[in-house]
């Protein structure tokens, strides 16, 4: 424990494969990601952690207070463990909390472990629970599921800017192109534009392939103070900026239906803290729970002007060799979306990119990376900027 200001770095990352049915307990799922992160951090041991943050959305597993069960299984006691929940933005919220704990001097080395095991429930049960992320009195009982909420954004964006279903489908085409190169991803085949456009409607105008898939999975990010980081690794990846914001829970009270205000505000904070502009970002991971979500992220993060997201994907500028590579690991649309693990998976990808360890998915010369992670239908927004 060291009191006083300290820079914060990521020194280890780990992730399970994202699958439809992992066949193991949440404790074993988290152990796999944690073990990989320890090995990645040049063979740290569980007892080296002086704190942990466990992140997930409740009600998908029967275990109450999962942080206690997981900390015990991973050998993290008696060091303190905390539980963080912000729906789909849970594990980047955990990263923000860990950052604050290290900057304050209360902790030097913190593991942020995100997980979700969704296969114990049917798709209908999962959608019902995800619907509770909307207003349970006036919205979710009347059909405002996650697909329906983002379909409203898609309709509004199409009406205001002329965005087309084909432009949205091209985002999924890109996702499939890269998910087949990511052995951790749930989808291991490319999908044609025609197949996407002809797939069944889920919530018009969103079709089957416009929507990400539920998944089981876990991720782990190990953060350290500057002093500790330099002793652990020669390749720390530094957190340069963080932004976090929220918006109204109910769709009826949202001031904007063509973008996510929480993402715009979180990005503004992160850019200011990091002292950079959108044009300085070399690679980004954005929360593409639906194709419209990725397109709005292009605009909300300042990669293009409002209304020009469709043009950006049509020109392939968000491909690996484009001006701003986005979701070149397949994104949620390709990897799957185990709610509590998703943000950590995004961070892992950016860390590997900035270290030059991304293999076939490496963005040449990447020095600054960005993570954009959203919870609910634009309820929570986190943006984190990293650098080598």
Asked whether 115 and 26 are in contact (CB, 8 A), the reply is: yes
Question: How far apart, in whole angstroms, are the C-alpha atoms of residue 169 and residue 173?
Answer: 6
Q: Which two tokens stand for residue 196?
A: 């996407």
Give me the sheet containing 237-246, strands edge to edge. 81-84, 51-55, 109-116, 217-225, 8-15, 237-246, 380-387, 368-375, 283-285
User: Which residue among 22, 30, 55, 88 is the active-site one?
Assistant: 88
* DSSP code string of 271-290: HHHHT--GGG--EEE---SB
| Orientation of helix 291-300 relative to helix 146-161, angle to 10° | 60
Query: What tokens appear for 81 in the block?
Result: 């463990």
User: How many degrees, rounded to 5, is the angle at CA 340 between CA 334 and CA 343?
Assistant: 60
Which burial class, exposed, middle or buried, applies to 109 when counting CB atoms under 10 A from its CB (0-12, 13-18, 19+)?
buried
Q: Is 337 a catalytic residue?
A: yes
Contact 281, 369 (CB under 8 A): yes
Count of residues making up the chain: 388
Helix (H, G, I), strand (E, B) or coil at 303: coil
Q: 262 near 378, Cβ under 8 Å?
A: yes
Structure-token pair, residue 219 = 């991720």
Does residue 107 have an active-site annotation?
no
6 Cβ neighbours under 8 A, 6+ residues apart: 102, 103, 105, 225, 226, 227
Q: Which of 107, 157, 287, 337 is catalytic?
A: 337
In angstroms, the CA 328 to CA 41 distance is: 24
How far apart, in whole angstroms, are the C-alpha atoms of residue 57 and residue 339? 7
Stretch (H or E) spanning 241:
strand 237-246
Q: Which residues are catalytic?
A: 88, 337
């Amino acid at each position: 424990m060291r009191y006083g200001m300290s820079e914060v770095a990521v020194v280890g990352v780990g992730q399970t494969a994202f699958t439809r049915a992992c066949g193991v307990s949440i404790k074993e799922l988290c152990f796999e990601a944690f073990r990989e992160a320890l090995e990645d951090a040049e063979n740290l041991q569980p007892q080296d952690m002086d704190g942990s943050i466990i992140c997930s959305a409740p009600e998908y597993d029967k275990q109450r207070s999962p942080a206690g069960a997981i900390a015990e299984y991973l050998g993290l006691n008696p060091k303190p463990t905390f539980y963080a929940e912000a729906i789909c933005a849970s594990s980047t919220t955990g990263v923000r909390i860990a950052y604050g704990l290290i900057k304050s001097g209360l902790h030097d080395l913190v593991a942020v472990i995100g997980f979700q095991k969704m296969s114990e429930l049917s798709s209908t049960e999962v959608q019902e629970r995800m619907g509770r992320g909307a207003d349970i009195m006036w919205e979710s009982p009347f059909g405002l599921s996650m697909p329906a909420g983002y379909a409203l954004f898609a309709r509004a964006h199409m009406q205001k800017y002329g965005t087309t279903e084909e432009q949205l489908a091209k985002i999924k085409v890109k996702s499939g192109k890269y998910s087949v190169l990511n052995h951790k991803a749930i989808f291991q085949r490319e999908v044609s534009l025609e197949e996407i456009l002809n797939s069944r409607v889920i919530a018009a105008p969103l079709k089957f392939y416009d929507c990400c898939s539920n998944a089981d999975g876990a991720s782990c990010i190990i953060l350290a103070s500057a002093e500790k980081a330099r002793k652990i690794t020669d390749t720390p990846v530094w957190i340069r900026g963080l932004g976090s914001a929220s918006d109204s829970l109910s769709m009826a009270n949202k001031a904007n239906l063509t973008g996510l205000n929480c993402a715009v505000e979180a990005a503004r904070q992160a850019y200011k803290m990091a002292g950079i502009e959108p044009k300085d970002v070399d690679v980004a991971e954005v929360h593409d729970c639906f194709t419209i979500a990725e397109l709005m992220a292009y605009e909300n993060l300042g990669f293009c002007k409002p209304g020009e997201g469709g043009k950006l994907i049509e020109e392939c500028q968000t491909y690996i060799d484009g001006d701003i590579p986005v979701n070149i690991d397949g994104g949620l649309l390709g990897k799957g979306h185990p709610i509590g693990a998703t943000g950590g998976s995004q961070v892992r990808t950016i860390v590997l990119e900035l270290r030059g360890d991304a293999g076939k998915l490496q963005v040449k010369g990447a020095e600054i990376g960005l993570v954009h992670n959203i919870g609910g239908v634009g309820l929570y927004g986190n943006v984190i900027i990293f650098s080598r």
